[in-house]
Amino acid sequence: MMHMKRLLSIFVPSFGFSSSSASSRLKIGDILKQARTFSNADVVEYSKLSCDSNPLHFDSDCARNAGFGDRLVHGMLVASLFPRIIASHYPGAVYVSQSLQFRLPVHIGEDITGVVQATNIREIKKKYIVKFSTKCFKNDDQLVLDGEATAILPTLEPGESMG
């Protein structure tokens, strides 16, 4: 039986919440969020695609013996929230860099919220190079990973969500 994945995407302008009819041109300080719960099937499929079969992701005893509560979601799978968040709001975005620091483990079934915040915007040849602060939280307040990303956006106007 296929499990439905919880996926929530919101745009939070720096000046507060706005109606969907108002123009929401991206500005420094603006925040984009998306929530997701990673399932066992997600971990299995990611392992197949990445060829990462580390037993920490598949063997509860191995994970506990290594000091974790249970099996882990791949850190890069969690980090995949960032390009999805950006591209779902700015279709055609080109993700060009990402730094990551893994702070806490993510276990299968935990609710994770990815948050990207625009920290710098430069216009070059009618495209926009945007630097984002990137963070993922579990339980709304526990930082599990953070870093910084850069993307080239075709526009600063949010587009139709692909999510």
Q: pLDDT digits over 55-100, tens only?
A: 999 999 999 999 999 999 999 999 999 999 999 999 999 999 999 9
- Residue 72 and residue 145 in contact, taking contact as beta carbons nearer than 8 Å: no
Residue 125 lies in a domain: yes
| Strands of the chain, DSSP E | 7-12, 31-37, 94-102, 111-124, 127-138, 142-153
112-131 pLDDT, tens digit per residue, is 999 999 999 999 999 999 99
Residue 111 lies in a domain: yes
Residue 163 lies in a domain: no
For position 113, which CATH number holds? Answer: 3.10.129.10
Residue 158 lies in a domain: no
**How many structural domains is the chain composed of?**
1
Residue 1 lies in a domain: no
Confidence of residue 23 (pLDDT cuts 50, 70, 90): low
Residue 85 structural domain? 7-14+30-153
127-151 pLDDT, tens digit per residue, is 999 999 999 999 989 999 999 999 9
Burial 90-99 (b: 16+ CB within 10 A, else e): beebeeeebe
Taking the C-alpha atoms of residue 126 and residue 78, their distance in angstroms, rounded to an integer, is: 32
**The predicted structure's pLDDT at residue 91:** 95
Residue 161 lies in a domain: no
Residue 159 lies in a domain: no
- Residue 65 and residue 55 in contact, taking contact as beta carbons nearer than 8 Å: no
pLDDT at position 24 over 90: no
pLDDT at position 7 over 80: no
Residue 124 lies in a domain: yes
